[in-house]
Amino acid sequence: MNHTMLYAMLVAAIIFEVLGTSAMQAAQHFTRLVPTLVMVGCYAIAFYFLSYTLKVIPVGIAYAIWSGLGIVLISLVGAFFFGQKLDLPAILGLGLIIAGVVVLNLFSKSTFH
């Protein structure tokens, strides 16, 4: 499998993780059935795609990219869809996470084995 396809699968894992976490917010402590089912389904799909990428991408690198970009995206979802405010330190911290993911992908030789 080529690198582009593996990154596409990692992006899919990230998107489904963000959707699952958004559904978790909407599930209101598992009291709403449909968002709870959406959350479980999205997490299952996210872990499927993440596990598939682990055939080539080392677990630490894949998880760093998955969790880092997931944090940034869910923070944006929280800000835009749930009205959660991001202050300057939060924005700076999210920028550092993005910088870390970029450094991993551009400069690390650990990305693929």
Q: What is the pTM of this model?
A: 0.86
Q: Is the pLDDT of residue 55 over 90?
A: no
CB 101 within 8 A of CB 64: yes
Q: State pLDDT tens for residues 78-95.
A: 999 999 999 999 999 999
